Amino acid sequence: MGLWRKIRRTGRVAEPAPEPPSGDRPPVAAELGGSVQVRHVDAGSCNGCEVEIGSAFGPVHDAERYGARLVASPRHADALVVTGPVTRNMAEPLRRTHDAVPGPKAVVAVGDCARNCGVFAEAYGVAGAVRDVVPVDLEIAGCPPRPEQIVEGLRKLTGR
């Protein structure tokens, strides 16, 4: 989150969150400043991960309390959450969406299909995993990953 948005929202400049001792936060996470606006991109998934993302942002798991918020436009986003193997038809739209996100930006590959194409590996319509199309900062394993895992991954981005 940019400094101006932070000042406007809170009325004061917040101190950056301390680094976790494990050091497994992506390097761009320190620049996001404790809050991250997330744009979700379905690059060709079976919709299993989308259900879990919806649950992660729902009232039970409430990812927003840790500083992650879904936004409708990549121009308002700090990070992309990408699900599914990247199909041939979605490779270029994913690149364009990635280019539309202002820097610093992060990309989170959610689910086994986004990480390594899962059961769709080497299928005709699949261009590859997310990291084959855009650089990935964080991967969340699972088919589909549980909402707790998604929230934990987003917490690594926000530092909360």
For the chain, what is the mean pLDDT?
A: 83
In which region does residue 127 sit, left (phi positive, over 0), alpha (psi from -120 to 50) or beta (all else)?
alpha
E strand residue ranges, the chain: 36-42, 68-70, 79-83, 86-87, 106-110, 126-128, 138-140
The yes-or-no verdict on residue 22 having pLDDT over 80 is no
- When computed from its CA atoms, the radius of gyration of the chain, rounded to whole angstroms, is 15
pLDDT band at 8 (very low <50, low <70, confident <90, very high): very low
Could you state, in order of their start, the residue ranges of all structural domains in the chain? 35-158
User: How many angstroms separate the CA atoms of 32 and 62, rounded?
Assistant: 19
pLDDT band at 31 (very low <50, low <70, confident <90, very high): low
State pLDDT tens for residues 115-139. Answer: 999 889 889 999 999 999 999 999 9
Q: What pLDDT is recorded for position 69? A: 92
Other beta carbons within 10 angstroms of residue 2's beta carbon come to 15
Mean pLDDT of 35-46: 92
The yes-or-no verdict on residue 52 having pLDDT over 50 is yes
Residues 6+ apart with CB under 8 A from 25: 19, 156, 157, 159
Q: CATH number of 35-158: 3.20.20.70, 2.60.120.560, 3.40.50.12280, 2.40.50.140? A: 3.40.50.12280
**Cα–Cα distance list, 21 to 18, 107, 148 (Å):** 9, 22, 21
Residue 157 buriedness (CB in 10 A; 0-12 / 13-18 / 19+)? buried
Question: Residue 101, Cα to own-chain centre: how many angstroms?
Answer: 12
